[in-house]
Amino acid sequence: MSDREVSVIVVTYNQEGTIARALDSILAQECDFDFEIIVGEDGSSDGTREICCDYALRYPERIRLLPEAPNKGVVDNYFDCLAVCRGEFVADCAGDDYWPCQERMQSQRDFLRSNPSDVAVMSDWRIVENGASVLSSQTERYRKYACRSEGGEMMRRVMGAVNDFPLLSAMMFRRGVLKDVMACRGVDSVRRREWGCEDLPVIVALSSRGPFGYLPVEATAYVVGESTVSNSRSEGALFDFYVKAATCLVDLIRIYSVDPDSVRGNLDSKISYLAGLASSAFTPERYARLRMLAEEWPAAVPVKARLRLAFMRFRR
């Protein structure tokens, strides 16, 4: 048995205005067991690290701050944190989000204790944007996650998600299950820097081993900010971000032998979107990247995407 029942991963970069709120919300959790907070501060250029150091000094029995290092990106930051976790269960919180419910950790841990066959438990999250907020379970596109899901069902849902991807930070999962998948399939079945994301491969890996339970708790306040990459107004930056996600999807389809037809909506959406971005923010490098991806695409490339690729060929 681990000396800590739950490990909470906090990844943060240039979030000096919000990181204290995130840490305070975790420290305020009311629970009858021990937990730890693993903070991955990713080479911020503002005062984020100084704030994290202050918290680590004030709460040495609770907070462990990863050693200072050059910026390494969200994938390496997240999995470096995971590698030093000691808890049986793992949850996470981004440095610009926070946990609004003080019973979240206790409730999710108790659920997993009472449901040993579930690899993880999903809860609700509050989406906060421009001063307004809405609960995920009250929105049409996320309502499908407000219930227990078998592993295969969850895998198809997340790999087929276009604009309705669930929030990993609203979940708690069994560290041993993820560790076992990485041992059996290889670390690179879950952790690859070129994928640019940690949530999709983690959820897919877990879903390959069992069901996800559901607990109607408001687990996380997800704050949508204009500075995030996915909200960038630069079409070039968006292409560079989403081409990694598309590559991740293609690779996971192969790793887990998923039928492409079961996630075709997401496949078609991603390749078409990328073709439009690459056409608007054309560079020979982006064209080459998209062309290579299209050749590996496990389904017929949509007509509009093929036409854009043909047009871009003459712009090289």
- The pLDDT of residue 165 is above 80: yes
Q: Is residue 90 within a helix (H) or strand (E), and if so which, with residue range?
A: strand 89-94
pTM: 0.94
pLDDT at 131: 85
- The pLDDT of residue 303 is above 80: yes
- The pLDDT of residue 123 is above 80: yes
- The pLDDT of residue 2 is above 90: no
pLDDT at 315: 77
Q: What is the mean pLDDT of residues 174-180?
A: 98
- The pLDDT of residue 1 is above 50: no
